[in-house]
Amino acid sequence: MSNGAPPTSSRPPTERAGLAAPATIKFSPEQLAEVRRLQGLYPDARGALLPVLHMAQDTFGYLSLEAEAYVAGLFGLSPAHVHEVVTFYTLYFQQPKGRHVVGVCHNLSCHLAGAQDILRHFEARLGIARGETTDDGRVTLQAVECLCACEAAPMAQVDDRYEMQLTPEKIDRILDGLR
């Protein structure tokens, strides 16, 4: 009974996954120092995974599989585990996103205050459906769950700002300001 053993998982996961060597996916020395600082804040370094993934997203534009594998390497985690986290949260982008992200709330309060009309106006003005990015890479439009600003319904988050009591005119003004 001498069968050859199948290959074991000794090769690095990125290589097994057939991914290119992440030459361009690399933090600067300052960022790596920040990663270590964040990891030191938690009893288990893994706790810093969320902020480090945000760093990676801000640095590399979105969380490609290469970026996930790179971050996994920084934590000594398997890429599958980082992929679990990235696919769980909607604020992590697995595809390239626009320069600006518009998240329109469509939960109860905003819905009652006309969120669907607001979304439709965004879609018409941008020429894309929710979940899509404009061809020029300017804006990604999303429908999102409650952002805790029901008193200002209907509302949306545009990049890091809350835009409240939205009207079509206000939307036009906002979009004109996004370059």
Partner 1 sequence: MPKVTIDGKEIEVEAGANLIEAARRLGIEIPHYCYHPGLSIAGQCRLCMVDIDKAPRPTIACNTLAADGMVVHTETDRVKETRRSIMEFHLINHPLDCPVCDQAGECWLQIYYMKHGLYDPRMTDEKVHKPKAVPLGPHVMLDAERCILCSRCVRFCDEITGTGELGIFSRGDRSEIGLFPGQDLENNYSGNVVDICPVGALTDRDFRFQVRVWYLDTTKSICPGCARGCNIDVHVNRKRPHHAGGRRVARLKPRFNDAVNAWWICDVGRYGFGSVDDESRIRFARQRGQDLTRDDALGLVIAALRDHAPDEIAILASADLANEDLFALRRLAEHRGIRQVAFRVPPATPAADDDFLLRADRHPNSRGAEIIGLDGDAAAILARCRAGSIKVLWVIGHDITAAGWPARDVADALEHVGSIIYTGTNDNGTSALATLVLPLAAWVERDGTFTNFLGRVQRFRAAVEPLGDALAGWDLFGRVLGALGGPVAGGRAELWFRELARTVPAFDGLSYQSIGDGGAMLAGAAPTTAPEPPARRANAAASVAEVSR
For residues 112 and 48, what is the distance between their CA atoms, to the nearest angstrom? 38
**Per-residue CA distances from 22 to 8, 39, 82, 128 (Å):** 23, 22, 16, 32
- Write down the least CB distance from residue 72 to partner 1, Å: 9
Among 5, 160, 161, 176, binds partner 1 (CB under 8 A): 5
Among 20, 21, 33, 84, binds partner 1 (CB under 8 A): 84
What are the strands, taking DSSP E only, across the chain? 100-105, 139-144, 156-158, 161-163
Nearer to partner 1, 43 or 177 (CB): 43
- Write down the least CB distance from residue 66 to partner 1, Å: 11
- Tell me, residue by residue from 41 to 70, as one string, x for binding to partner 1 by CB under 8 A and - for no binding: ------------------------x--xx-
Q: What DSSP designation does 76 have?
A: T
Question: Terminus-to-terminus CA distance in the chain, angstroms?
Answer: 68
Chain positions contacting partner 1, by CB under 8 A: 1-9, 13, 16-19, 65, 68-69, 77-81, 83-84, 87-88
